[in-house]
Amino acid sequence: MAVKFPVKVTTTSQSRLSSVDFNNIPFGKVISDHMFVADFDGKQWTDLRIEPFANLNISPANLALHYGQSIFEGMKATKVHGEPVLFRPEMHARRFNVSAERMCMPQIPEELFVQALKMLVDLDRNWIPAGDDHALYIRPLMFATDEYFGVHTSENYRFLVFTGPVGPYYPKPIKLWVEEVFTRAAQGGAGEAKCAGNYGASLLPAQRAKAAGYDQVMWMDAVEKKYVQEVGTMNLFFVIDGKVVTPATTGTILRGVTRDSFTTLLKEWGYTVEDRLLSIAEIADAYWRGTLQECFGAGTAAVVSHVSEITWRDRKLELPPVDETHRPVGTRLKKHINQLRMGVQPDVHGWLQTCENSGVDMFMEQEVGMVA
Ligand code: COI
């Protein structure tokens, strides 16, 4: 990779790596040593730097805190033959820019986005955990930094990337509640953007579902409350009578990178994949006829998360046990993607990118103690 953007690299002299129990990594709690930071000054991205992970100094009048100009991505890095690899970073960069456009935020050059990830992952490569369902999670985000409390578009922004080793997001099959009171997004809303507000608005319905014994909600469309959308943390796939069906991306759900990868693989493996409107009534009908074979969520964090139960009003749809016999589609996808990310499967699509020549050594300047 040709390194295009100069980045000031300041490394920590007090790595926290030795304090991490890699045999027990809860999702989202462990954060690696460094972060990438860049600032948008109204015209361009400036002051590109990698520095020790530390708290930010933010004004209480920060626009993002009040009006939600805040977007993010979720990605993963693993190791192939000991070398860090990223999964489809350009596709994530493009989606990040789609979110930025929807939230009236500046575009970030794709090459800068990818260079930032590669340098950071290269530097913190020892934080990449080994093993199935384990990876270094990468969290790029952008938020407004203007100090102003009128409802307004910010002129200044910060782009930041940090990482952390993770295990499975859902360690066991999940139970879903079909949500017909709250909705996630309507046509013309921001449902396709990976913006903070979408997740904030999902917390209350998720909390209620958890209190009632479910793991998550299955969102329905906002108008008829009839068509399946997604599960907030992941897209959904159903296997009905041997065909794979995934709800269409009609502007209200996230265009998942994992969703796209799975659709590609399934078609190559000879499955019929239908990307279309899918009603909850059709799913229940398939269940009663005995043709609902599988349901699983697909996402970067979730990878493949099998669904064990779907509750729609007073009807409970219980899905088959999770093994290769009963869930051939979901289990094959999960195995394949894990093996691909560890170099056991050949990368025939060119989805993996190494961090070779990331440039991080070239820009290394000094070490500082931890600030956080
Ligand atoms: C991801 O799958 O990476 C996500 O961003 C979903 C969730 C963890 C917020």
Per residue in 289-307, pLDDT tens?
A: 999 999 999 999 999 999 9
In a domain, 62, yes or no: yes
Closest to 44 measured CA to CA, from 123, 147, 163, 156? 156
Amino acid occupying residue 161: V
Per-residue pLDDT tens digits for 93-135: 999 999 999 999 999 999 999 999 999 999 999 999 998 889 9
State the DSSP code for 220.
B
Q: How many domains does the chain have?
A: 2
b/e 25-47 (16+ beta carbons within 10 angstroms → b) = bebeebbbbbbbbbbbeeeebee
Residue 112's domain spans which residues? Answer: 8-169+350-363
Q: Is 216 in the pocket of ligand 1 (CB under 6 A)?
A: no
Q: What is the CATH number of the domain that holds 157?
A: 3.30.470.10
Question: 18 and 42 share a domain?
Answer: yes
Closest to 356 measured CA to CA, from 136, 6, 81? 81
In a domain, 335, yes or no: no
Distance from Cα 139 to the centre of ligand 1, integer Å: 9
pLDDT beyond 90 at 190: yes
Q: Label the pairing between strands 8-12 and 45-52.
A: parallel
Rounded to two decimals, the pTM is 0.96
In a domain, 58, yes or no: yes
In a domain, 129, yes or no: yes
Distance from Cα 356 to the centre of ligand 1, integer Å: 26
Distance from Cα 321 to the centre of ligand 1, integer Å: 25
Nearest CA to ligand 1 atom 9: 233
Q: What is the CA radius of gyration of the chain?
A: 21
Question: 156 and 12 share a domain?
Answer: yes
In a domain, 271, yes or no: yes
Reported in sequence order, the residue ranges of 118-215 that DSSP labels E, i.e. its strands, are 135-144, 157-166, 174-179
Q: What is the CATH number of the domain that holds 211?
A: 3.20.10.10
Whether 10 contacts 366, CB under 8 Å: yes
Nearest CA to ligand 1 atom 5: 74
Question: 67 and 156 share a domain?
Answer: yes
Question: 228 and 243 share a domain?
Answer: yes
Question: 138 and 238 share a domain?
Answer: no
Whether 61 contacts 20, CB under 8 Å: no
At residue 153, the pLDDT reads 98
Per-residue pLDDT tens digits for 136-180: 999 999 999 999 999 999 999 999 999 999 999 999 999 999 999
Question: 180 and 313 share a domain?
Answer: yes
pLDDT beyond 90 at 276: yes
Distances (CA, A) of 269 to 257, 265, 272: 18, 6, 9
Give the number of the atom of ligand 1 that is nearest the alpha carbon of residue 256. Answer: 2
Distance from Cα 256 to the centre of ligand 1, integer Å: 10
pLDDT, averaged across the chain: 96
Question: 208 and 288 share a domain?
Answer: yes
Question: 102 and 160 share a domain?
Answer: yes
Question: 195 and 262 share a domain?
Answer: yes
Mean pLDDT for 44-70 is 98
Give the number of the atom of ligand 1 that is nearest the alpha carbon of residue 75. Answer: 3
Query: CA 85, 90, 91, 93: dihedral to nearest 10 degrees?
Result: 110
Query: What is the distance between the alpha carbons of residues 82 and 100, in angstroms, rounded to a whole number?
Result: 34
